[in-house]
């Protein structure tokens, strides 16, 4: 038996992530992360993430994902300001279902003593482009019907990100972070220079 749940509008709310929920979450090839700044004039952010073993269920109310290098760093900036985050998974084949994990997130950067242990929890390993691990304490777990999500066939994950990061190398990735990832689009601080790996 999974954790007790009660009926909510258009779905269910769960007391924790049980084995069945975990299996569904880990099987999805893509998930979506949304955060927002506190300012009413700030930009809400929603990012798609490929899941090649880069998402981990750490406990009934604890999850984490590997944060890959991107053109922006909105999620990190928003988490540093207020911690709010929601992660969404949806089924593009099989029975329709959407699962949302609302909670409080934290950026565990490369120089954090916890980074190595957390990074070791992912089947996909740690690549050159990994910036941090986003660790989330889940406060609300819910699902809904997903009837409006279309059927789509998964072909394969794109190799482009890994190829791009490998070409840049550790020093090139560091330079890119300094150029692109120190602030959000609203000017909130994101990556900190002290957390970046030293150039060789």
**Contact partners, residue 47, CB within 8 Å, separation at least 6:** 32, 33, 34, 70, 74, 75
The residue-averaged pLDDT of 84-97 equals 97
Question: What was the pLDDT predicted at 4?
Answer: 41
The residue-averaged pLDDT of 178-189 equals 95
Q: How many CA atoms lie within 13 A of 108 on its CB side?
A: 19
For the cut 60, the answer to whether the pLDDT of residue 6 exceeds it is no
Task: Report the C-alpha gap between 169 and 119 in whole angstroms.
Answer: 19
Average model confidence (pLDDT) across the chain: 90
Q: Percentage of residues in the chain with pLDDT exceeding 70?
A: 89
Structure tokens at 70: 């991107």
**Contact partners, residue 175, CB within 8 Å, separation at least 6:** 168, 199
Q: Percentage of residues in the chain with pLDDT exceeding 90?
A: 82
Question: What's the pLDDT tens digit per position in 12-24?
Answer: 999 999 999 999 9
Task: Report the C-alpha gap between 88 and 54 in whole angstroms.
Answer: 14
Question: What was the pLDDT predicted at 127?
Answer: 80
Task: Report the C-alpha gap between 171 and 135 in whole angstroms.
Answer: 26
Structure tokens at 163: 């190829």
Q: Are 93 and 31 in contact (CB under 8 A)?
A: no
For the cut 80, the answer to whether the pLDDT of residue 196 exceeds it is no
Q: Is domain 5-189 annotated with CATH 2.30.110.10?
A: yes
The residue-averaged pLDDT of 175-195 equals 89
Question: What's the pLDDT tens digit per position in 39-81?
Answer: 999 999 999 999 999 999 999 999 999 999 999 999 999 999 9
């Amino acid at each position: 038996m999974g954790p007790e749940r009660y009926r909510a509008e258009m779905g269910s709310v769960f007391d924790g992530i049980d084995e069945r929920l975990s299996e569904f979450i880990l099987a999805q090839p893509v998930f979506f992360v949304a955060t927002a700044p506190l300012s009413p004039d700030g930009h809400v952010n929603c990012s798609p993430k490929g899941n090649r073993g880069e998402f981990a269920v750490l406990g009934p109310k604890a999850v984490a994902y590997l944060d890959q290098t991107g053109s922006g760093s909105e999620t990190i900036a928003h988490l540093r300001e207020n911690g709010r985050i929601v992660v969404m998974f949806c089924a593009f084949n099989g029975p329709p279902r959407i699962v949302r994990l609302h909670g409080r997130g934290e950026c565990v950067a490369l120089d954090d003593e916890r980074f190595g242990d957390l990074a070791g929890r992912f089947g996909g390993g740690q690549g050159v482009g990994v910036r941090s691990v986003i660790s989330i304490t889940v406060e609300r777990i819910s699902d809904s019907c997903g009837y409006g999500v279309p059927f789509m066939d998964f072909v394969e994950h794109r190799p482009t990100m890994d190829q791009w990061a490998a070409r840049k190398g550790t020093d090139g990735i560091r330079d890119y972070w300094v150029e692109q990832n120190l602030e959000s689009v609203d000017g909130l601080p994101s990556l900190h220079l002290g957390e970046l790996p030293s150039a060789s």
